[in-house]
Structure 1
Amino acid sequence: MSRKRPVAIAVTALCLLAAGCADSSTGTAGGKSPGAGSGSGYPVTVENCGEKQTFTKAPERVVVMNGMSVAEVSSLLALGLGDRIIANQQSYGRSEVAGRAEAIKALPTGGVKPNEAFDVPREAMLALRPDLVLSVTSYGFDAKNGFATRADLSSVSANSYISPQGCEDDPSKMTVADSYALLRDLGKIFGVSDRAEKLIAESEKRIGTISAEVGGEDKPKVMVMFSNMAMGGNEFSAVVANGIINDILTKAGGSNAFADASRTTFTDLSKEKVAATPVDALVVISYNDPHPEAYAKKLLKEFPQWPAAKNNTYTVLSDSMYLGPSNDLAVDKLARTLHPDAL
């Protein structure tokens, strides 16, 4: 499965949560927002990618752009703000959180027909009459891509927001801290900072406990790649080299086997390079692929010389590996895969 969208957006992947006002590993599928923005804290101003966005009340007509992510929609649902969404373009098809994928699928799409860049075109965006538009990176507000610019939106009294590390459309330096920054910003914008801080505190506690338990263990070399997706000219152009995934691997007691292969988020590898690298564990990321487990098993069979193949060490993840409110779930599952005797 190939994508026309440039690599940087695909990883922002990054990353994402189900619904309800609950912690990042549970949550419900309701996404309601009782009391959101009902306090006296408005107006609030958020500094975002060099622009000041001022909110006189909590947004009520939110459009979530695709960006090959579920970070923004999942964060909204985690904060209990699903009823503010009038059009959502994000979906991973599956999630580490029960009910999350179904909750996202049930959200309105606004009847939008995506353009060639797989997102909301300018005219359709303005017709939706949003009061807030969320984009993973600055790509979603670039007129060259056929999108409404931030100035276009401002002219119709709509605010806009670009997620952390998305200002330059390059998430290669993204970390778990950026997931927390996204929750904090949305908490401030919608007047639910208490909910955001609760989610952050629970995630930090869980990750800290796991990291402490595996801190003294060896760090297996892990290959992370998308299932059945090509980012470039061959199958191994979907291998992750940098970004939030590396931070998650470190916290889970592992390391990226191909971190030095590229300075960008993804690396384009030859089959020979992949075969010659001692991969201790394989992580396959599902992006709307219904059979990622089968893909992982195919790779292990293709490279029997890997320690991962000899020990059958692999796992499949989806939204928790990227920007969003459930990175603690990825750290937990990875740590149990890499260090089953330590937890």
Structure 2
Amino acid sequence: MPKRRTAATALAGTLLVVSLSACGGSSGDTGGVDDAPSAAPHSGYPVTVTNCGQTETFTKAPSRVVVMNGASVAEVSTLLALGLGDRVVANEQTYGMSEVPGRAQAIKALPTGGIKLNDAYDIPREAMIGLRPDFVLSLTSYGFEAKNGFATREQLKTAGANSYISPQGCDDEPSKMTLADSYTLLRDMGKVFNVSDRAEKLIAASQKNIAAVSSKVQGAKKPKVMVLFSNMAMGSNAFSAVVANGIVNDILATAGGTNAFASASRTTFADLSKEKVAATDVDALVVISYNDPDPAAYAKQLLKEFPQWPAAKTNTYTVLSDSMYLGPSNDLAVAKIAKMLHPDRF
């Protein structure tokens, strides 16, 4: 997912009134459980989670949770999917749209703590301590670096707060992230908040849905897909928001496709020239919206700009948002992309 390091830089309350018992639906559909009864505050504790080489011990379920920005929605969406929205005292993750009905609105309705973000687009150290959190979530280790003006994990522990860095975020470069990491995040939060049963139901639903889609596209030719963020710049070249590695590649592979620019960079994003993009065969386009009100217009603009692409000749594109990130609804992205790439299989 994008890491917001420059002005646009960045890679999921009640979402739906649906019971977790409805495991036959998508993981997104079964994610609307904010109204589920809270776990007993002391049952099953203490619990210990080893995270990025640090041991975090919880004597009770956190009740004052702060979610750092990180230009992600993975952490807040996971908390909401597990019915833990009432534990959040400050959430800095926002999103303009979602594949899950009601999710964007639920995120917007969460308290922000009245925090003014610093120049690194996240919660400064003094403001963080002032929130009196007992649990702080960050997408990567970046959110706990003192040089960026943030409270370190050690400072938070001294203030009485546990902390957590999401899977593959220890080195602040989630280029190796896979679908399994979304399940790890769910399981870890299930353990921390003593709601492991909810986490396992969400995981089972997602795995079932993905397996069903994957079986339909098995053996099919794998089109080359370009994945990029809508109207976003992350580097010096014209196409610096093209995704080269990370969970996106796992989603594409499961949906019966391949990343057209996977070899263009070893990191999450490829910073590409227009000439490089023009010279690459792109069979399909996936535009990820990050607070862009009209990502479809951006997709159409690209297809018009590169008429030589097979994607342009067949008008093959789709727009996605949070389901392409680490988070609880990756199965929705897999299904939508697979249907775009292999409509004859559905």
Give me the TM-score of the superposition, normalised by structure 2. Answer: 0.94
**CA offsets, 1:42-96, max 9 Å, x none?**
0000000111100000000000000010000000000000000000000121000
Kept in 2, the 8 Å contact 1:95–1:320? The answer is yes
Aligned partner of 1:19 among 15, 21, 37: 15
Alpha-carbon contact 2:288-2:319 (below 8 Å) kept: yes
Return the alpha-carbon distance in structure 1 between the equivalents of residues 228 and 144 of structure 2: 28
TM-score using structure 1 length:
0.95
Identity %: 72
Which residue of 233, 236, 240 corresponds with 2:236?
Answer: 233
Given candidates 55, 58, 83, the residue that maps to 1:55 is: 58
Residue number in structure 2 paired with 1:172:
175
Q: After superposition, where does 1:122-141 map in structure 2 within 5 Å?
A: 122-141=125-144
Please, which of 230, 252, 255 is the counterpart of residue 258 of structure 2?
Answer: 255
Structure 2: any 5+ residue segments left out of the alignment? 21-25
SS at match of 1:267: strand
- Letter aligned with residue 177 of structure 1: A
Q: Which residue does the alignment assign to 1:44?
A: 47
**52-61 vs 31-40, greater mean Cα deviation:** 31-40
Aligned length: 337
Amino acid at match of 1:296: A
1:65-80 alignment runs, 5 A limit: 65-80=68-83
* Structure 1 counterpart of 2:15, one-letter code: A
Q: Which amino acid aligns with 1:309?
A: A
SS in 1 for 2:94: coil
Measured in 2, the distance between the counterparts of 1:247 and 1:24 equals 17
Letter in 1 for 2:216: E
Give the aligned partner of residue 335 of structure 1: 338
Q: Could you tell me which residue of structure 2 aligns to residue 279 of structure 1?
A: 282
AA aligned opposite 2:345 = A
Q: 1:188 aligns with which of 179, 187, 191?
A: 191
Rounded Cα–Cα distance in structure 1 between residues aligned with 2:39 and 2:97: 28
Aligned-partner Cα distance in 1 for 2:6–2:249? 20
Q: Confirm whether residue 34 of structure 1 aligns to residue 73 of structure 2.
A: no
Shift of 1:331: 0.1
Secondary structure of the structure 2 residue equivalent to 1:237: strand
Unaligned runs of 5+ in 1: none
Tell me the residue number matched to 1:297.
300
Aligned equivalents of 1:163 and 1:331: distance in 2?
21
Alpha-carbon distance between aligned partners in 2 of 1:182 and 1:65, rounded to the nearest angstrom: 15
Q: Aligned with 1:341: secondary structure?
A: helix
Which residue type is aligned with residue 19 of structure 1? L
CA separation in 2, counterparts of 1:48 and 1:4?
A: 23
